[in-house]
Structure 1
Amino acid sequence: MGNNMISMMDAYMIETLRSNGLSNEQMVTLLEEKQISDLERINTKFNFNNLLKLYEQDKDIFKSVLQDGYMVKFLTMNGLKNLLQMKFNKVAEQDYQITDTGIQHLEIETKSFHTLKQLLSINWVIQENADTSNNTSNKIVDIHIV
């Protein structure tokens, strides 16, 4: 994978489709066939024509975004919270605490750590917390804006 950079809104659309059961292959097929109405049935709030444009710009890069992951070009605090919920099913004040500069004590599966680290834009730093999880397959991390 190169450095697949996408907008926060593109990430929202992809993760919304995934959380509604669409596979990567189904997404590609619907975009290839320009079946935007099928995507809009899943979520009427998004303009999936923008996702179609991203797909049509470079189909191989889009497929890499789906398969290999992506970095959000510029991630806001609310964007981070939303992606944590959409992608990892993590909820603020339940699964982590909000601070003035980010979040702390997020417990995440070790296998998801790389994906989380990869999607953060360059304005965020992730640190493994000295506190350890009781579950050895999880990490506790803090994420702060720089």
Structure 2
Amino acid sequence: MSKVQLSIPVALLIENLRSSGEPTDVIIECIKQRDFSPLLGKVKERTMDFEERCQTAEDIGDEWEEALHSGYEFKFLHINGLKRLLYFRFDRAIDRDYGQDGITLKNLHLDPGEIDTLQGLIGRQWQVIEEDHEVGSMQRVVSIKLLYRNEDD
């Protein structure tokens, strides 16, 4: 069975709502009711246009509820979307927790579970590469690079 694929606006809506720390059932109910007031004080990006993103999900048919229950992957993800994902899901920020060199993110510290989660979300387009591990720590130093594919693939 393949994973649910979500567009950037809908996936980042979900990630921002998850950053509230509320259970999945509460998030689903807020989306269905289009009432985000219980989450607004808890999400990482309070200025996000939640209503517009819900409408986008409806318009393009993204299966957001299934994604919340069983996981998802991005259909497509640009570098700025990747940086927002790292912030929402893992609380990692550019210039504080990692650097950027062109379209590669470097020196990002994640534990093995976070690496697996991240690769599962972005693996259609990006590769998480373990560069090193911190001595005495579960943390790994990774870079994230764009996958280059042949047009024949």
Smaller-chain TM-score bracket: 0.7 to 0.9
Alignment equivalent of 1:37, drawn from 35, 38, 46: 35
- CA change 1:46–1:75 in 2 (3 A) is same
Task: Report the Cα offset of residue 116 of structure 1.
Answer: 0.4
Alignment equivalent of 1:65, drawn from 40, 59, 67: 67
1:46 and 2:49 matched = yes
- CA change 1:40–1:9 in 2 (3 A) is farther
Q: What TM-score, normalized by structure 2, do the two folds share?
A: 0.76
Name the count of aligned residue pairs.
Answer: 141
Partner SS state of residue 37, structure 1:
coil
- CA change 1:113–1:135 in 2 (3 A) is farther
- CA contact under 8 A between 1:13 and 1:48: conserved in structure 2? no
- Residues 28-64 of structure 1, C-alpha deviations (whole Å, 9 max, x = no match): 22334xx213359724532436436747x58xx5444
Counterpart of 1:138 in structure 2: which amino acid?
A: Q
- CA change 1:2–1:143 in 2 (3 A) is same
- CA contact under 8 A between 2:36 and 2:50: conserved in structure 1? no
CA distance in 1, matches of 2:39, 2:133: 42
Counterpart of 1:36 in structure 2: which amino acid?
A: R
- CA contact under 8 A between 1:73 and 1:121: conserved in structure 2? no
CA distance in 2, matches of 1:87, 1:101: 20
- CA contact under 8 A between 1:108 and 1:139: conserved in structure 2? yes
1:76 and 2:78 matched = yes
Partner SS state of residue 45, structure 1:
coil
- Residues 85-142 of structure 1, C-alpha deviations (whole Å, 9 max, x = no match): 111001112211101131112110212111100111522122111x222343222211
Corresponding residue number in structure 1 for 2:43: none
- CA contact under 8 A between 1:39 and 1:48: conserved in structure 2? no
Alpha-carbon RMSD:
2.7
Gaps of 5+ in 1: none
- CA contact under 8 A between 1:8 and 1:75: conserved in structure 2? yes
Corresponding residue number in structure 2 for 1:17: 17
Give aligned-pair identity as a percent.
Answer: 26
Higher helix share: 1
Gaps of 5+ in 2: 41-45, 149-153
Partner SS state of residue 82, structure 1:
helix
- CA change 1:53–1:78 in 2 (3 A) is closer
